């Protein structure tokens, strides 16, 4: 029975649920994100459903955006919306506070800022400016930022990719 409780506690920690006592949780300072996390309490099953639905919808939007590839405005909107949904899906698993904390980690703060800025620029150029060339360029920037942001979660991946790119584009003979 103790092994089962221990496994359940580990599972709760993996999906971002708190396993603290109520007394120690009450002694912590109140903040907006703490309050938000307490109001967003889902069961493990609800978290997994939310993650699966949000991620599958995001991937579907991203893949369906390929159907309108030659219309950069529609492509930019569906591609960016798919990326936002896929990014938000992990908040169901680990919680919004931990998601923001991980995104603002010093290791990936610049990758996060460039990624979110590229999504905003892509949506702005598609919805407001309606310039196809600018939208296409911002989508290319967004795709590159997505790759760089994703690599920030893999240990040593960004340094490896940087070294490979330097070796490929080295102009010295």
Q: What is the pLDDT of residue 113?
A: 93
71: buried, middle or exposed (CB in 10 Å: 19+, 13-18, 0-12)? middle
How many angstroms separate the CA atoms of 21 and 15, rounded? 18
pLDDT digits (tens, 9 = 90+) for 64-76: 998 988 888 888 8
What is the number of alpha carbons within 13 Å of residue 34 lying toward its C-beta? 7
Segments making up each domain of the chain, as ranges: 2-168
**Using an 8 Å Cβ cutoff, are 42 and 104 in contact?**
no
Is residue 21 scored above 50 in pLDDT?
no
pLDDT digits (tens, 9 = 90+) for 96-140: 888 899 999 998 899 899 999 999 998 898 888 888 888 889 889
Confidence (pTM): 0.67
* Residue (of 109, 134, 113) closest to 122 by Cα position: 134
Q: What is the radius of gyration, based on Cα positions, of the chain?
A: 20
Q: What percent of the chain has pLDDT over 70?
A: 77
């Amino acid at each position: 029975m103790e092994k089962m409780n221990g496994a359940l506690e580990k599972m709760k920690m993996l999906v971002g649920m708190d396993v603290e006592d109520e007394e120690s949780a009450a002694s912590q300072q109140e903040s907006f994100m703490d309050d938000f996390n307490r109001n967003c309490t889902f069961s493990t099953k609800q978290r997994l459903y939310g993650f699966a639905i949000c991620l599958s919808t995001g991937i579907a939007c991203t893949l369906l955006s390929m159907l309108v590839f030659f219309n950069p405005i529609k492509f930019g909107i569906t591609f960016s919306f798919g990326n936002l949904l896929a990014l938000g899906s992990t908040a169901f698993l680990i919680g919004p506070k931990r998601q923001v904390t991980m995104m603002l980690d010093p290791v990936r703060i610049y990758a996060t800022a460039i990624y979110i800025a590229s999504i905003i620029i892509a949506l702005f150029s598609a919805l407001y400016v309606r310039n196809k060339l600018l939208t296409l360029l911002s989508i290319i920037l967004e795709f590159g930022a997505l790759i760089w942001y994703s690599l920030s979660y893999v240990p040593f991946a960004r340094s490896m990719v940087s070294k490979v790119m330097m070796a490929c584009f080295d102009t010295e003979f």
